[in-house]
Amino acid sequence: METIDLGEICIAVTRKDIKNVHLSVHPPDGRVTLAVPSATRLEVARAYAISKLHWIRDQRRKLAEQARETPRQFVTRESHYLWGRRYLMTVEHRDAKPSVKMDHKRIVLTVRPGSDAVRRAEVIHDWHKALLHEVVPALIEKWEPKLGVKVSGYFLQRMKTKWGSCNHNAGHIRLNTELVKKPKDLLEYVIVHEMAHLTEPTHSERFITILDEHYATWREARVELNELPLSSDGREL
């Protein structure tokens, strides 16, 4: 991979079948990438990057200042988010099968006496996956005829660097379980984004056109998603 070094900033350059350059600063640590048309000379790409140096530094500063969740301990009166709303957790210890319930203000986690933070986290993660399984199939079914694609399967998992991914050849999409913490419209955006990759595997001009045609507010959704509080390790789309 080619790189452009501008002082403390190293920019990874990729060549693609696109018409315009795409400069991005990625959370959580401000990694910078520049996608350029295949025939672009490196010195031309470097000149473009230099012209955007103030913008790059400004974006990296915003990321450094962005709210970031501290690691959760899953204890009473700890804040947790679900579908964009904040709830306080109550932990109850009972010699019974672990469970999670929710009312309009609280998430009540019931675990066996002596359960540690790791076990409490596992119970909550399983609950998060169950909540996502309740809403994801309907969203996929809604968008299959709109996008003219067929999703052969979807998977939910913790993902350290992405909100979602797509296996174009297998017809599968993967979704980050952290999305259960975000507003449902942002989950829908990620699903549409990954389903669009079933038609166009790369972030090409054609891919952008598909999103523009079918999900006109995708840029606003992407900005909102990446400006919400990050988990302790950070994610992006």
Residue range 110-143, pLDDT digits in tens: 999 999 999 999 999 999 999 999 999 999 999 9
Q: Are residues 127 and 198 in the same domain?
A: yes
234: in domain: no
Number of domains into which the chain is organized = 2
Instruction: Output the pTM of the full model.
Output: 0.74
pLDDT score of 74 more than 90: yes
Of 28, 43, 65, the domain-final residue:
65
What CATH number is attached to the domain comprising 206?
3.30.2010.10
139: in domain: yes
Q: Are residues 19 and 95 in the same domain?
A: no
Q: Are residues 171 and 89 in the same domain?
A: yes
* Structural domain range at position 104: 79-227
Residue range 170-219, pLDDT digits in tens: 999 999 999 999 999 999 999 999 999 999 998 888 999 999 999 999 98
Mean pLDDT value across the chain: 90
- Are the C-beta atoms of residues 231 and 125 closer than 8 Å to each other? no
Cβ-defined contacts of 71-80 (< 8 Å, 24+): 71/232, 72/121, 73/117, 74/109, 74/117, 74/120, 74/121, 74/124, 75/117, 80/107, 80/124, 80/181
212: in domain: yes
- Cβ partners under 8 Å of residue 108, min gap 6: 89, 90, 92, 100, 101, 102
